[in-house]
Structure 1
Amino acid sequence: MTVPQPPEPIPGARLLFSLDPSVSHLNHGSFGAVPIGVQRAQQRLRDEMEANPLRFFAEGLVDRIAHTRRHLARFIGADPEGTALVGNATTGVAVVLQSLGLRPGEEVLTTDHGYGAVAFSVARECRRTGAVSRTLPVPLNATDEEVVDIIRTGLRPGRTRLLIVDQITSPTARLFPTAAIVGVAREQGIPVLVDGAHAPGMLPITVASVGADFWVGNLHKWAYTPRGTAALVVAEPWRERIEPLVVSWEQDSGFPARVEWQATLDYTSWLAAPAGPFTLRSLGPDRVRAHNAALAAYGQRVVGDALGVAPSHLPEPGGPTMAMRLIPLPPGVATTIDAARALRSRIAERLAAEVSVAAWNGRGWLRLCGQVYNTPDEYDRLAVRLPTLLAQG
């Protein structure tokens, strides 16, 4: 089988970013990259804030946040009245968990593809309340139908209080059939929280069509907003039950303002956030998604070939717009969290390449992303140099 051809670059896209050109930034999915124009939009807001802090915070800021929220809700296809801006997806998950009122014996059900910080949040809330957490193993190569069947079988009506599933999994770069999963859970009366951390911008999503009781997603990854910009979308029956992690002056305003207003936070990331989707639209969302997915597929194959991984053993992401790809590392490499972190640092220091390395199900995995600022030669260089680094132990 031939290596897939890399896409044609989008003219001028690399110049939109202030990334260090001496480093191959192949891990957009972790922290994103903020375009220069978006950086400048936020800086103008910071200048406004510092010129007169009292005026900035006391005169109309709540309304400005609400205006921004409406823009971003439209971008992700969500009801603005059911959408709250939060700092990141993990924060949104914590808001939902502490608002549920879990009781002893009830359970929160997750899969083994979930994000680590979400698992920590679930464990903490279970310790506080006496509830329990349970994790369903889902094979990496499971079909969508198999994933739905595994979750259907794992649900326990009357005991399972919340199901948490990822729209795009972080450690395994897998697209889950969330709408079908939500439908199965609804048949059994079990609410669902969809962790869509990577979805906005990468996928042409409409949150309302997923139908989840709760949905959280970051916009500072694939939608080019300033970091610290995420959305928590809550179905109408749950909105009055949602409480913020910290109570402040908008508490009596109800959801979503009570969740958004956290006193003297730096709200400039939210106010500047619409400039991110504007940048995406100016480049052409379909064009960007096709480019990024094709580039990630190219990177997966050339690095996989260099590591001796047969194409049949390279996980398929489950969608043509997936801009993250996974490569299994040799047996015994990066099989623990600490070892994965150490390898990521070595790759960054010695190969001048930023990648994601994760330990999942007893094996190390390399995750590569494709973004408009990347070029095929960055993956080629990694493919040439990575085997030697791994052989050095």
Structure 2
Amino acid sequence: MSAPEKPRPIPGARLLFSLDPSMSYLNHGSFGALPISVQRAQQRLRDEVEANPLRFYGTGLLDRVVHTRRHLATFLGADPDGSALVQNTTAAVSLVLQSVGLGASDEVLLSDHAYGAVTMAVRHRCRRTGATARTVAVPLGLSAPEVVARVRSALRPGRTRLLVIDQLASATAALFPVREIAAAAREHGIPVLVDAAHVPGMLPVDVSAIGADFWVGNLHKWGWAPRGTALLHVAPAWRRRIEPLVVSWEHEQGFPRSVEFQGTIDYTPWLAAPTGIFTMRTLGLEAVQEHNETLAAYAQRVVGEALGLEPADLPEPGGPGVAMRVVPLPAGLATTVPEAQALRLHIAEKLAAEVAVNAWGGRGLLRLSAQVYNRPEEYEALAERLPGLLAAYQR
């Protein structure tokens, strides 16, 4: 079967970024990449800080943070008064775990798609509280109703204290029906934390409509915000119960200010974040998302065919809009995290291409991202050279 149609480049989009032209950066999903306009906006804020630190931190900073939070929350369909800016999804997960009040008879349920650092945070908190961390397997290729049924069957009312579920999984690029999963958990009074690290900017989202108790997404990946920018949304029933990881001067004000204000942290990523959304909108938000989804599908098919895979062997994301796709690697390659990291570095060194390689379910998965600065020719070049590199790597 031939590859999907190549998307037309968005005029001028490639020039918005300052990426090294000697590398094919096919891994936007890991750390994002900042448009030059956002870099400059943040630098202006840094200059403002250093011109008079006391004035920056002491005059109107909280109002500026609140204004920024309202802008970003509105973009995501979240309640601004029930949201807080945080450094990243991982920090928000630890914040939620501290706030739900785990006990020795409780358990936290995750799927086997959960991000590694999230799983580590859950296990760490469970060790400290005597609770149990449990994992439900969700095979790739299930339909949305099948995913919901599998997660529902794993819930244990009276025992499951928190369900942590991805909206878009990092390792597998699988899209989960989080609204339906949250509804299923709500039937049993089980709180749900949605890890939406990759969602803001990539997928249209209405956070309030999902109905999760907690939802967190990074804006520094697909939202073109500086690194260290994420939004945590908390349902009304939980807002007074949020326990900040750091107690500072706004603690008595309660959520969200008790979470957002932490003294002399760097607030410039948050304050510059709206520039990323503005830049994306100048290109056309729907145009950006359509381009990236189409290019990711093309990349998956081209690289998959080069590795001898049939279309049926290439996992579909489980829904529209996803700008990351995975290609299963030959058996025996990258089956552990250290092996996956080593192979990623080898590909970067030998092929001048940055990709993500993950070990999941005993199989290595090559993850390809697509962003407006990417071109089909970059994936074609990877497809041409990758089979030979992998054959030599296995010897």
TM-score range, shorter chain: over 0.9
- Whether contact under 8 Å (1:290, 1:320) holds in the other structure is no
Q: Secondary structure in 2 aligned to 1:325?
A: strand
Mean CA deviation greater in 311-320 or 121-130: 311-320
Instruction: Give the drift of 1:100.
Output: 1.1
Matched position secondary structure for 1:303: helix
Q: C-alpha offsets along residues 238-297 of structure 1, whole Å, 9 cap, x if unaligned? A: 001101111111101110000011111010000111101111111111111110011011
Counterpart residue number, 1:199: 199
- Residue 162 (structure 2) aligns with: 162
Whole-angstrom CA distance in 1 between matches of 2:231 and 2:114: 18
Structure 2 counterpart of 1:262: 262
Residue 319 of structure 1: CA displacement? 2.1
- Residue 77 of structure 2 aligns with an amino acid whose one-letter code is G
- Please tell me whether the aligned partners of residues 164 and 193 of structure 1 are also in contact (alpha carbons under 8 angstroms): yes
Provide the residue aligned with 1:175 in structure 2.
Answer: 175
Asked whether the 8 Å contact 2:293–2:321 carries over to 1, the reply is yes
1:125 and 2:145 aligned: no
- Equivalent residue runs for 1:5-24 within 5 Å: 5-24=5-24
TM-score computed with the length of structure 1 as normaliser: 0.99
1:216 Cα deviation after fit? 0.4
Residue number in structure 1 paired with 2:361: 361
> 1:67-119, CA deviations, whole angstroms, 9 ceiling, x for partnerless residues?
10000000100000000000001111110001111100200000000100000
* CA shift digits 1:318-374 (9 cap, x unpaired): 222110001000000111111000000001111110000000000000000110000
RMSD over aligned CA atoms reads 0.6
> 5+ unaligned residues in a row in structure 1: which ranges?
none
Structure 1 residue 192 displacement after superposition: 0.3
Determine if contact 1:229/1:269 at 8 Å carries over to the other structure.
yes
Q: 1:297 and 1:84 mapped to 2: Cα distance?
A: 34
CA contact 2:141–2:318 (8 Å) conserved in 1 = no
SS of equivalent to 1:274: helix
**1:134 equivalent in structure 2:** 134
Q: Distance in 2 between matches of 1:223 and 1:282?
A: 13
Q: How far 1:60 sits from its partner (Å)?
A: 1.1
What SS does the aligned partner of 1:321 have? coil
Question: How many residues are paired up?
Answer: 393
Cα offset, 1:204, TM superposition: 0.7
**Counterpart-to-counterpart distance in 2, 1:180 and 1:332:** 36
Aligned partners of 2:245, 2:385: CA distance in 1, in Å? Answer: 46
Alpha carbons 1:191, 1:212 under 8 Å: kept: yes
Distance in 2, Cα, partners of 1:143 & 1:76: 26
Return the alpha-carbon distance in structure 2 between the equivalents of residues 236 and 282 of structure 1: 34
Q: Which secondary structure does the structure 2 equivalent of 1:392 belong to?
A: helix
| Separation in structure 2 between the aligned mates of residue 288 and residue 319 of structure 1, nearest angstrom | 17
C-alpha distance in 2, partners of 1:301/1:155?
36
TM-score by length of 2: 0.99
Aligned to 2:350: 350
Runs ≥4 residues deviating over 6 A: none
- The aligned amino acid for 2:224 is Y
Query: What percent of counterpart residues are identical?
Result: 66
Q: Which residue of 1 aligns with 2:84?
A: 84
Displacement of 1:41 after TM fit?
Answer: 0.5
Per-residue CA distance 1:166-202 (angstroms, 9 max, x = gap): 0000010010000000000000110100001001111
1:41-80 equivalences in 2 (<5 Å): 41-80=41-80
Give me the whole-angstrom Cα distance separating, in 2, the residues matched to 1:210 and 1:144. 15
Query: Hey, what's the Cα distance between the residues in 2 that align with 1:215 and 1:50?
Result: 34
Q: Is the 8 A contact 2:73 2:79 kept in 1?
A: yes
1:1-393 → structure 2 map (5 Å cutoff): 1-393=1-393
User: Which residue identity is paired with 2:11?
Assistant: P
- Could you say what secondary structure the match of 2:273 adopts? coil
Contact 2:107 2:162 in 1 (8 A): yes
Contact 2:226 2:273 in 1 (8 A): yes
AA aligned to 2:103 is R
2:105 partner letter: G
For residues 250 and 60 of structure 2, the distance between their equivalents in structure 1, rounded to whole angstroms, comes to: 13
Distance 1:355 1:381 in 2: 13
